[in-house]
Chains A and B, each alone.
Chain A
Amino acid sequence: MSSVNFIRRPNRLGKLISTPGGRKLGEAVAMAESGIETLRPALQAEVDAALDRLRAAAGRTDAAAHAEVYACATAIVGAAGLCGLTRVGEVAYNLCELSDRYIEAGVWNEAAIAAHIQTMGVLRMANLPDDSPDAQAVLDGLKALVRRAEEKAAQSEG
Protein backbone atom coordinates (compact mmCIF):
# COMPACT_ATOMS: atom_id res chain seq x y z
CA MET A 1 0.00 0.00 0.00
CA SER A 2 1.43 3.38 -0.97
CA SER A 3 1.97 6.02 1.68
CA VAL A 4 1.11 9.71 1.46
CA ASN A 5 3.28 12.31 3.16
CA PHE A 6 2.03 15.78 4.01
CA ILE A 7 4.86 18.29 4.29
CA ARG A 8 4.47 21.77 5.77
CA ARG A 9 7.13 24.25 4.70
CA PRO A 10 7.86 27.80 5.88
CA ASN A 11 6.16 30.47 3.77
CA ARG A 12 9.34 32.01 2.34
CA LEU A 13 7.66 33.91 -0.48
CA GLY A 14 4.98 35.36 1.78
CA LYS A 15 7.56 36.66 4.23
CA LEU A 16 9.81 38.09 1.52
CA ILE A 17 7.19 40.01 -0.39
CA SER A 18 5.41 41.40 2.64
CA THR A 19 8.41 43.19 4.11
CA PRO A 20 7.71 46.88 4.72
CA GLY A 21 8.29 49.02 1.65
CA GLY A 22 7.92 47.74 -1.86
CA ARG A 23 5.33 48.94 -4.33
CA LYS A 24 1.61 49.49 -4.10
CA LEU A 25 -0.19 46.80 -6.09
CA GLY A 26 -1.70 49.25 -8.58
CA GLU A 27 1.68 50.89 -9.06
CA ALA A 28 3.36 47.51 -9.65
CA VAL A 29 0.79 46.55 -12.30
CA ALA A 30 1.10 49.95 -14.02
CA MET A 31 4.89 49.68 -14.10
CA ALA A 32 4.71 46.16 -15.52
CA GLU A 33 2.25 47.29 -18.20
CA SER A 34 4.38 50.26 -19.20
CA GLY A 35 7.39 47.93 -19.36
CA ILE A 36 5.51 45.68 -21.78
CA GLU A 37 4.50 48.72 -23.82
CA THR A 38 8.17 49.44 -24.55
CA LEU A 39 8.32 46.02 -26.25
CA ARG A 40 5.42 46.72 -28.64
CA PRO A 41 7.50 47.09 -31.87
CA ALA A 42 9.53 43.98 -31.04
CA LEU A 43 6.35 42.02 -30.28
CA GLN A 44 4.77 43.07 -33.58
CA ALA A 45 7.94 41.95 -35.35
CA GLU A 46 7.71 38.65 -33.46
CA VAL A 47 4.13 38.16 -34.70
CA ASP A 48 5.21 38.87 -38.30
CA ALA A 49 8.20 36.52 -38.06
CA ALA A 50 6.04 33.76 -36.58
CA LEU A 51 3.50 34.26 -39.39
CA ASP A 52 6.29 33.83 -41.96
CA ARG A 53 7.49 30.64 -40.26
CA LEU A 54 3.90 29.46 -40.09
CA ARG A 55 3.38 29.92 -43.83
CA ALA A 56 6.58 28.01 -44.54
CA ALA A 57 5.64 25.16 -42.20
CA ALA A 58 2.12 24.90 -43.61
CA GLY A 59 3.61 24.28 -47.05
CA ARG A 60 5.26 21.08 -45.82
CA THR A 61 3.60 17.78 -45.00
CA ASP A 62 5.95 16.08 -42.51
CA ALA A 63 5.19 15.58 -38.82
CA ALA A 64 7.84 18.12 -37.81
CA ALA A 65 6.02 20.73 -39.89
CA HIS A 66 2.79 20.02 -38.02
CA ALA A 67 4.59 20.56 -34.71
CA GLU A 68 6.07 23.78 -36.13
CA VAL A 69 2.57 25.02 -37.05
CA TYR A 70 1.51 24.49 -33.43
CA ALA A 71 4.67 26.16 -32.08
CA CYS A 72 4.26 29.21 -34.34
CA ALA A 73 0.62 29.56 -33.35
CA THR A 74 1.52 29.52 -29.65
CA ALA A 75 4.22 32.15 -30.25
CA ILE A 76 1.64 34.41 -31.92
CA VAL A 77 -0.84 33.95 -29.06
CA GLY A 78 1.79 35.04 -26.55
CA ALA A 79 2.78 38.18 -28.42
CA ALA A 80 -0.26 39.40 -30.37
CA GLY A 81 -2.46 40.35 -27.43
CA LEU A 82 0.30 42.50 -25.95
CA CYS A 83 0.87 44.66 -29.03
CA GLY A 84 -2.62 45.63 -30.14
CA LEU A 85 -3.27 42.55 -32.29
CA THR A 86 -5.85 40.85 -30.10
CA ARG A 87 -7.90 39.50 -33.02
CA VAL A 88 -4.81 37.95 -34.61
CA GLY A 89 -4.15 36.33 -31.24
CA GLU A 90 -7.68 34.90 -31.12
CA VAL A 91 -7.26 33.28 -34.53
CA ALA A 92 -3.85 31.95 -33.47
CA TYR A 93 -5.44 30.40 -30.38
CA ASN A 94 -8.01 28.65 -32.57
CA LEU A 95 -5.15 27.39 -34.73
CA CYS A 96 -3.45 26.03 -31.57
CA GLU A 97 -6.59 24.13 -30.67
CA LEU A 98 -7.10 22.83 -34.20
CA SER A 99 -3.50 21.76 -34.87
CA ASP A 100 -3.23 20.15 -31.42
CA ARG A 101 -6.41 18.19 -32.10
CA TYR A 102 -5.15 17.12 -35.55
CA ILE A 103 -1.75 16.06 -34.17
CA GLU A 104 -3.42 14.03 -31.42
CA ALA A 105 -5.80 12.34 -33.89
CA GLY A 106 -3.14 11.79 -36.54
CA VAL A 107 -5.05 13.76 -39.18
CA TRP A 108 -4.34 17.05 -40.96
CA ASN A 109 -6.69 19.35 -42.86
CA GLU A 110 -4.57 21.69 -44.97
CA ALA A 111 -7.53 23.82 -46.03
CA ALA A 112 -8.56 24.57 -42.44
CA ILE A 113 -4.96 25.41 -41.47
CA ALA A 114 -4.54 27.63 -44.53
CA ALA A 115 -7.77 29.47 -43.73
CA HIS A 116 -6.41 30.42 -40.31
CA ILE A 117 -3.09 31.60 -41.72
CA GLN A 118 -4.78 33.69 -44.41
CA THR A 119 -7.16 35.22 -41.87
CA MET A 120 -4.28 36.23 -39.62
CA GLY A 121 -2.53 37.76 -42.64
CA VAL A 122 -5.65 39.76 -43.56
CA LEU A 123 -6.18 41.00 -40.00
CA ARG A 124 -2.51 41.96 -39.69
CA MET A 125 -2.36 43.83 -42.99
CA ALA A 126 -5.74 45.55 -42.61
CA ASN A 127 -4.75 46.77 -39.14
CA LEU A 128 -8.39 46.80 -38.06
CA PRO A 129 -9.28 47.93 -34.53
CA ASP A 130 -10.26 45.06 -32.24
CA ASP A 131 -13.87 46.23 -31.98
CA SER A 132 -14.26 46.81 -35.72
CA PRO A 133 -17.28 45.12 -37.37
CA ASP A 134 -15.01 44.33 -40.32
CA ALA A 135 -12.69 42.34 -38.04
CA GLN A 136 -15.69 40.43 -36.72
CA ALA A 137 -16.82 39.74 -40.29
CA VAL A 138 -13.37 38.34 -41.12
CA LEU A 139 -13.56 36.05 -38.08
CA ASP A 140 -17.07 34.91 -39.01
CA GLY A 141 -15.80 34.15 -42.50
CA LEU A 142 -13.01 32.05 -41.00
CA LYS A 143 -15.45 30.01 -38.95
CA ALA A 144 -17.53 29.29 -42.05
CA LEU A 145 -14.43 28.35 -44.05
CA VAL A 146 -13.18 25.97 -41.36
CA ARG A 147 -16.60 24.39 -40.98
CA ARG A 148 -16.78 23.74 -44.73
CA ALA A 149 -13.21 22.39 -44.80
CA GLU A 150 -13.98 20.00 -41.93
CA GLU A 151 -17.22 18.81 -43.57
CA LYS A 152 -15.39 18.22 -46.85
CA ALA A 153 -12.67 16.24 -45.07
CA ALA A 154 -15.29 14.16 -43.25
CA GLN A 155 -17.07 13.38 -46.56
CA SER A 156 -13.85 12.30 -48.25
CA GLU A 157 -13.02 10.03 -45.29
CA GLY A 158 -16.51 8.55 -45.35
Chain B
Amino acid sequence: MSLADPSLANLGSRIDLRKATVLLVEPNNQAMDVLTQIFLGFGASHTLRAASFEEAQQAVHGNIVDLIACEATLQPEEPDGYEFVSWLRRSGLDPNAFAPVLLVSSHTSGRNVSRARDCGAHFMVSKPLAPAVLLQRILWIAQNNRTFVSCDVYSGPDRRFQNVGPPDGIGRRHNDLPAEVGEAAGANMAQDEIDSLLTPQKVAR
Protein backbone atom coordinates (compact mmCIF):
# COMPACT_ATOMS: atom_id res chain seq x y z
CA MET B 1 0.00 0.00 0.00
CA SER B 2 1.20 3.44 -0.81
CA LEU B 3 0.99 6.43 1.48
CA ALA B 4 2.90 8.65 -0.93
CA ASP B 5 -0.04 11.07 -1.11
CA PRO B 6 0.75 13.61 1.65
CA SER B 7 -2.95 14.10 2.36
CA LEU B 8 -3.05 10.50 3.61
CA ALA B 9 -0.17 10.95 6.04
CA ASN B 10 -2.47 10.81 9.06
CA LEU B 11 -3.84 7.40 8.06
CA GLY B 12 -2.67 4.44 10.05
CA SER B 13 -2.70 6.03 13.48
CA ARG B 14 -5.97 7.95 13.63
CA ILE B 15 -9.36 7.92 11.95
CA ASP B 16 -11.60 10.89 11.36
CA LEU B 17 -15.06 10.14 10.01
CA ARG B 18 -16.63 13.41 11.21
CA LYS B 19 -16.94 14.79 7.70
CA ALA B 20 -17.82 11.50 6.03
CA THR B 21 -21.36 10.50 5.11
CA VAL B 22 -21.87 6.82 5.85
CA LEU B 23 -24.86 4.89 4.53
CA LEU B 24 -25.97 1.95 6.67
CA VAL B 25 -28.31 -0.54 4.99
CA GLU B 26 -29.73 -3.07 7.45
CA PRO B 27 -33.30 -4.39 7.76
CA ASN B 28 -32.96 -5.70 11.33
CA ASN B 29 -33.39 -3.00 14.00
CA GLN B 30 -30.94 -4.49 16.50
CA ALA B 31 -28.33 -5.07 13.82
CA MET B 32 -28.81 -1.48 12.66
CA ASP B 33 -28.21 -0.32 16.24
CA VAL B 34 -24.99 -2.36 16.31
CA LEU B 35 -23.77 -0.77 13.07
CA THR B 36 -24.70 2.68 14.33
CA GLN B 37 -22.81 2.19 17.60
CA ILE B 38 -19.74 0.99 15.75
CA PHE B 39 -19.66 3.98 13.42
CA LEU B 40 -20.39 6.37 16.30
CA GLY B 41 -17.38 4.85 18.03
CA PHE B 42 -15.33 5.52 14.90
CA GLY B 43 -16.40 9.17 15.09
CA ALA B 44 -18.95 9.21 12.26
CA SER B 45 -21.43 11.96 12.93
CA HIS B 46 -23.41 11.78 9.71
CA THR B 47 -24.97 8.39 9.07
CA LEU B 48 -27.89 7.65 6.78
CA ARG B 49 -30.05 4.63 7.60
CA ALA B 50 -31.91 2.47 5.13
CA ALA B 51 -33.90 -0.65 6.00
CA SER B 52 -34.67 -1.88 2.50
CA PHE B 53 -33.45 -1.95 -1.09
CA GLU B 54 -35.80 0.89 -1.99
CA GLU B 55 -34.71 3.09 0.92
CA ALA B 56 -31.08 2.45 0.03
CA GLN B 57 -31.76 3.54 -3.55
CA GLN B 58 -33.43 6.72 -2.32
CA ALA B 59 -30.48 7.44 -0.02
CA VAL B 60 -27.90 7.28 -2.81
CA HIS B 61 -30.10 9.37 -5.10
CA GLY B 62 -30.41 12.20 -2.60
CA ASN B 63 -26.98 12.28 -0.93
CA ILE B 64 -23.31 11.94 -1.72
CA VAL B 65 -22.08 9.01 0.36
CA ASP B 66 -18.45 8.28 1.23
CA LEU B 67 -18.85 4.76 2.59
CA ILE B 68 -21.60 2.15 2.54
CA ALA B 69 -22.06 -0.73 4.97
CA CYS B 70 -24.79 -2.98 3.58
CA GLU B 71 -26.32 -6.20 4.94
CA ALA B 72 -26.35 -8.91 2.27
CA THR B 73 -29.84 -10.18 3.17
CA LEU B 74 -32.51 -7.49 2.96
CA GLN B 75 -36.29 -7.79 3.17
CA PRO B 76 -37.90 -11.00 1.88
CA GLU B 77 -39.41 -10.82 -1.61
CA GLU B 78 -37.22 -7.90 -2.65
CA PRO B 79 -33.73 -7.57 -4.14
CA ASP B 80 -30.94 -8.27 -1.65
CA GLY B 81 -27.76 -6.44 -0.72
CA TYR B 82 -25.77 -8.04 -3.55
CA GLU B 83 -28.31 -6.76 -6.06
CA PHE B 84 -28.23 -3.30 -4.49
CA VAL B 85 -24.46 -3.12 -4.98
CA SER B 86 -24.75 -4.38 -8.59
CA TRP B 87 -27.42 -1.79 -9.27
CA LEU B 88 -25.37 0.98 -7.63
CA ARG B 89 -22.26 0.19 -9.68
CA ARG B 90 -24.22 0.54 -12.94
CA SER B 91 -26.50 3.35 -11.76
CA GLY B 92 -24.48 6.14 -13.34
CA LEU B 93 -24.72 8.08 -10.08
CA ASP B 94 -21.47 9.99 -9.79
CA PRO B 95 -19.67 9.75 -7.38
CA ASN B 96 -21.88 7.28 -5.47
CA ALA B 97 -21.48 4.52 -8.06
CA PHE B 98 -17.80 4.39 -7.04
CA ALA B 99 -18.39 4.54 -3.28
CA PRO B 100 -16.60 1.96 -1.14
CA VAL B 101 -18.99 -0.81 -0.09
CA LEU B 102 -18.61 -3.22 2.80
CA LEU B 103 -21.11 -6.06 2.62
CA VAL B 104 -21.87 -7.58 6.01
CA SER B 105 -23.38 -11.01 6.38
CA SER B 106 -24.07 -13.67 9.00
CA HIS B 107 -23.59 -16.43 6.46
CA THR B 108 -20.27 -16.13 4.65
CA SER B 109 -20.37 -19.35 2.66
CA GLY B 110 -18.11 -19.65 -0.37
CA ARG B 111 -21.09 -19.00 -2.64
CA ASN B 112 -21.99 -15.79 -0.79
CA VAL B 113 -18.40 -14.52 -0.76
CA SER B 114 -18.24 -15.11 -4.53
CA ARG B 115 -21.48 -13.19 -4.97
CA ALA B 116 -20.07 -10.32 -2.90
CA ARG B 117 -16.96 -10.21 -5.09
CA ASP B 118 -18.95 -10.40 -8.31
CA CYS B 119 -21.49 -7.71 -7.40
CA GLY B 120 -18.76 -5.09 -6.96
CA ALA B 121 -18.37 -4.86 -3.17
CA HIS B 122 -14.96 -3.97 -1.78
CA PHE B 123 -15.08 -6.41 1.12
CA MET B 124 -17.37 -8.83 2.86
CA VAL B 125 -17.32 -8.75 6.65
CA SER B 126 -18.81 -11.59 8.67
CA LYS B 127 -21.18 -11.15 11.60
CA PRO B 128 -21.05 -10.94 14.56
CA LEU B 129 -19.32 -7.68 13.68
CA ALA B 130 -15.98 -7.04 15.36
CA PRO B 131 -15.21 -3.28 15.38
CA ALA B 132 -11.47 -3.94 14.97
CA VAL B 133 -12.07 -5.97 11.80
CA LEU B 134 -14.42 -3.38 10.36
CA LEU B 135 -11.97 -0.58 11.08
CA GLN B 136 -9.14 -2.55 9.48
CA ARG B 137 -11.20 -2.98 6.30
CA ILE B 138 -12.12 0.72 6.19
CA LEU B 139 -8.47 1.71 6.54
CA TRP B 140 -7.48 -0.73 3.83
CA ILE B 141 -10.03 0.76 1.44
CA ALA B 142 -8.91 4.30 2.33
CA GLN B 143 -5.24 3.48 1.77
CA ASN B 144 -5.71 1.48 -1.42
CA ASN B 145 -7.68 3.48 -3.93
CA ARG B 146 -8.51 0.63 -6.26
CA THR B 147 -9.15 1.33 -9.91
CA PHE B 148 -12.69 0.61 -11.05
CA VAL B 149 -13.30 -1.87 -13.82
CA SER B 150 -16.36 -1.74 -16.02
CA CYS B 151 -17.25 -4.32 -18.65
CA ASP B 152 -20.24 -6.35 -19.79
CA VAL B 153 -20.16 -8.80 -16.93
CA TYR B 154 -18.69 -6.78 -14.07
CA SER B 155 -18.61 -3.27 -12.70
CA GLY B 156 -16.72 -2.52 -9.49
CA PRO B 157 -13.30 -2.25 -7.93
CA ASP B 158 -10.45 -4.13 -9.56
CA ARG B 159 -10.63 -7.59 -7.98
CA ARG B 160 -7.05 -8.54 -8.65
CA PHE B 161 -4.97 -8.58 -5.48
CA GLN B 162 -1.89 -10.26 -6.82
CA ASN B 163 -0.22 -10.94 -10.14
CA VAL B 164 0.45 -14.66 -10.30
CA GLY B 165 1.22 -14.88 -14.01
CA PRO B 166 -0.30 -17.33 -16.49
CA PRO B 167 -2.27 -20.22 -14.93
CA ASP B 168 -0.28 -23.41 -14.33
CA GLY B 169 -0.58 -25.98 -17.05
CA ILE B 170 -2.14 -23.60 -19.55
CA GLY B 171 0.95 -21.73 -20.62
CA ARG B 172 1.35 -18.52 -22.51
CA ARG B 173 -0.51 -17.28 -25.59
CA HIS B 174 1.12 -18.16 -28.89
CA ASN B 175 1.85 -14.50 -29.64
CA ASP B 176 3.33 -13.67 -26.21
CA LEU B 177 7.02 -12.90 -26.06
CA PRO B 178 9.15 -15.86 -24.95
CA ALA B 179 9.64 -16.29 -21.22
CA GLU B 180 13.42 -16.44 -21.67
CA VAL B 181 14.90 -12.96 -21.54
CA GLY B 182 17.91 -12.16 -23.69
CA GLU B 183 20.79 -9.83 -23.03
CA ALA B 184 19.93 -6.22 -22.23
CA ALA B 185 19.97 -4.00 -25.30
CA GLY B 186 21.26 -0.94 -23.45
CA ALA B 187 22.38 0.43 -20.11
CA ASN B 188 19.95 0.64 -17.15
CA MET B 189 18.05 3.90 -16.83
CA ALA B 190 19.10 6.29 -14.06
CA GLN B 191 16.68 6.69 -11.12
CA ASP B 192 15.94 10.27 -12.19
CA GLU B 193 14.95 9.07 -15.64
CA ILE B 194 12.68 6.40 -14.14
CA ASP B 195 11.08 8.95 -11.80
CA SER B 196 10.47 11.36 -14.64
CA LEU B 197 8.52 8.65 -16.43
CA LEU B 198 6.43 7.54 -13.44
CA THR B 199 5.92 10.70 -11.36
CA PRO B 200 3.08 13.02 -12.42
CA GLN B 201 4.49 16.30 -13.76
CA LYS B 202 2.79 19.65 -14.16
CA VAL B 203 2.21 20.41 -17.84
CA ALA B 204 2.77 23.98 -19.03
CA ARG B 205 0.06 25.15 -21.40
Chain A contact residues, CB within 8 Å of chain B: 2-25, 28-36, 38-39, 42-43, 46, 67, 70-71, 73-75, 77-82, 89, 92-93, 96-97, 100
Contacts and interface: CB of A to CB of B under 8 A. Distances in A.
Given A14-B5, A14-B8, A5 B151 contact: yes
Interface string B107-127: 101000000000000000001
Given A7-B98, A19-B19, A79 B141 contact: no
Most B-side CB within 10 Å, residue of A16, A34, A39, A80: A16
Contacts of B20: 13, 16-17
Contacts of A35: 37-38, 40-41
B21 to A, nearest CB: 9
Interface residues of B, number: 58
B16 interface: yes
16 contacts: A7-B149, A17-B11, A17-B15, A17-B20, A32-B38, A35-B38, A35-B40, A39-B30, A71-B76, A74-B73, A74-B106, A74-B107, A75-B106, A78-B128, A79-B31, A82-B128
Given A15-B7, A36-B37, A42-B33, A28 B15 contact: yes
B41 A28 contact: yes
B97 to A, nearest CB: 9
Interface in B133-171: 134-135, 138-139, 141-143, 145, 147-153, 158
Contacts of A38: 37
B48 interface: no
Nearest to A64: B76
A89 B128 contact: yes
B68 to A, nearest CB: 11
A77 B107 contact: yes
Nearest to B67: A13
A29 B132 contact: yes
Given A22-B14, A32-B131, A77-B127, A14 B148 contact: no
Given A32-B41, A96-B106, A16 B14 contact: no
Nearest to B20: A16
A16 B128 contact: no
A82 B37 CA distance: 12
A98 to B, nearest CB: 11
Nearest to B98: A9
Contacts of B13: 24-25
A21 B20 CA distance: 14
A5 B7 CA distance: 27
A7 B147 contact: yes
Contacts of A29: 41, 131-132, 135
B93 interface: no
Contacts of A67: 76
Contact of B10 (A10, A19, A73): A19
